[in-house]
Amino acid sequence: MSFDKLGLEAELLRAVRSEGYDEPTPIQAQSIPVILEGRDVLGGAQTGTGKTAAFTLPMLQILNGREAKSRAPRALILTPTRELAAQIQESIRTYGKNIRLRSTVVFGGVGIHPQIDKLRRGVDILVATPGRLLDHAERGTVNLAQIEILVLDEADRMLDMGFIHDIKRVLKLLPANRQNLLFSATYSDEIKRLSDGLLHNPVMIEVARRNTATELTEQVIHPVGRTRKRALLSHLIKEDEWTQVLVFTRTKHGANRLAKQLATDGIDSTAIHGNKSQSARTKALADFKAGRVRVLVATDIAARGLDIDSLPHVVNFELPNVAEDYVHRIGRTGRAGLNGTAVSLVCTAERPFLRDIERLIKKTIRVEEIEGFHQDTDAEHKVNMRDDAEEKRRQFAPKRGRSSRGGGRSGPGGGEGFRKPAARSKRSGGGGQRSGSSRGR
Ligand code: AMP
């Protein structure tokens, strides 16, 4: 299959070629012709499948072929996160570099006035997160009455993040006659309800779920004493000479602390999470992408939708307590056909989470012990015991209005042990000794 057969005009084909894409991805091959026909589309595709180009290329062509009646935007793309919004606009710029259409992006966390100025000057394509878009609508600084094409990108994430009411309010501001494209990685009852009310006679396009990234990505678990995680991470980064590592922590505070600690170990690191200003997040991501920092420490929310080309290493410094997040995390690597590795540092208390993850991905993840790190030292063990007792007290203390999700399952000492590794092999050139095994069931 070649891009030339999809009905795209020369200016767009040139832009695609200069990106070095040889052939369309499955979602592109299937979506581009039907979007060009003006059909509504329900696309089942995750980040990493090439879905951004799948809707952006035909959208650019359609708008380029029609006359703008005013300065108001003619296409609206709604996305769950600021980062994703910024990335989509970047793609629009890239693919639209040979045609004269204007685009802008609006999201919260940054000043609204520069956005107002840009909207006033006129745009053809507006990329937005729902909350800030409604701010503009309330202030009367955006006119959505000329929208001809609406895209809901990562619609399932938007629903997860509680944007359904915002989306419904936005829909009321749009003209009835328009083309609608909805992309979602999962197809839940909620998505079905949303798409039933939104799409007219849609073409349904489904491409392989990104869960298959779990096959592209080499996954490994290093059992580790709880207090040895930081030392093990530094050891792995240095010994294996990892140059670009995305590390996940469960909390914003943990992300900050780890980035600082790694820096004191001589490893350039920065953190990205929801408490950081938008400009700090943008800078952290840019520094990481450009190779100016070696490690980006992120929380799940901050990492959603991040498109980092050919990311070789993802590390779960802590396992997520929601198993699906593991799949999203490791989906940051092994994308667009490139192999990557996903390393999880797992202490005893996290084993129940690991079981949930393995159940979800229907796979037993390889375990590799790294000599010297897989147990706490005696002193650390004492600290752990104290923390554990404290944790137990908290768990059993009466509490009000707290969800039991996740928290109660991670009881220290709970769960079964790792199987003893079958074979040991000395690694060359490093201090650490590893032993590999598959954990059979
Ligand atoms: P997306 O799913 O839109 O986030 O795209 C994932 C990645 O795939 C991006 O880094 C794109 O630059 C890349 N990409 C998109 N289309 C193609 C293609 N036809 N061939 C190779 N890479 C692509």
Both tokens of 268, joined, read: 């350039």
Our answer on whether the CB atom of 87 is closer than 6 Å to any ligand 1 atom is no
25 lines ligand 1 (CB under 6 A): yes
Q: How far is the CA of 48 from the centre of ligand 1 (A)?
A: 6
Angle of helix 82-95 relative to helix 51-64, nearest 10 degrees?
50
CA of 389 to the centre of ligand 1 (A): 49
For range 391-408, the mean pLDDT: 48
Instruction: Give the pLDDT mean for 60-87.
Output: 95
Token pair, residue 123, equals 């745009």
Q: Which of 73, 36, 79 lies closest to 54 in space, CA to CA? A: 36
Task: Answer for the pair 23, 162: CB distance below 8 angstroms, yes or no.
Answer: no
Name residue 331's amino acid. G
Q: How far does residue 92's CA lie from ligand 1's centre (Å)?
A: 13
Phi (first) and psi of residue 295, to 5 degrees: -125, 130
Which pLDDT band, with edges at 50, 70 and 90, does 421 fall under? very low
Q: What is the pTM of this model?
A: 0.59
How high is the pLDDT of residue 409? 32
* Residue located nearest, by CA, to atom 20 of ligand 1: 21
The answer to whether 15 touches 98, Cβ cutoff 8 Å, is yes
User: Structural domains in the chain?
Assistant: 3-206 (3.40.50.300), 217-396 (3.40.50.300)
Q: If pLDDT is split at 50, 70 and 90, which confidence band does 324 have?
A: confident
Ligand 1 atom showing the smallest separation from residue 45 Cα: 2
pLDDT recorded at residue 391: 55
Angle 352-357-359 from CA coordinates, rounded to 5°: 95
Give tens-digit pLDDT for 333-366.
755 555 678 999 999 889 999 999 998 888 899 9
Cβ 48 under 6 angstroms from ligand 1: yes
CA of 240 to the centre of ligand 1 (A): 28
The C-alpha atoms of residue 256 and residue 202 are separated, in whole angstroms, by: 45
What pLDDT shows up at residue 406? Answer: 35
Q: State the amino acid at position 109 in one-letter form.
A: G
Nearest-CA residue for atom 18 of ligand 1: 21
- Measuring from atom 16 of ligand 1, which residue has the nearest CA? 50
For the record, the structure tokens of 322 come out as: 């929601």
- Distance CA(153)–CA(294), nearest Å, equals 30
The predicted structure's pLDDT at residue 396: 60
Q: How many Å lie between the centroid of ligand 1 and the Cα of residue 51?
A: 7
Q: Probe ligand 1: pick from 87, 90, 335, 338, max atoms within 8 Å of CB?
A: 335
**CB-count exposure of residue 59 (10 Å: 0-12, 13-18, 19+):** buried
The residue to mutate among 17, 23, 307, having the most atoms of ligand 1 within 8 angstroms of its beta carbon, is 307
Place of tokens 């035909």: 58
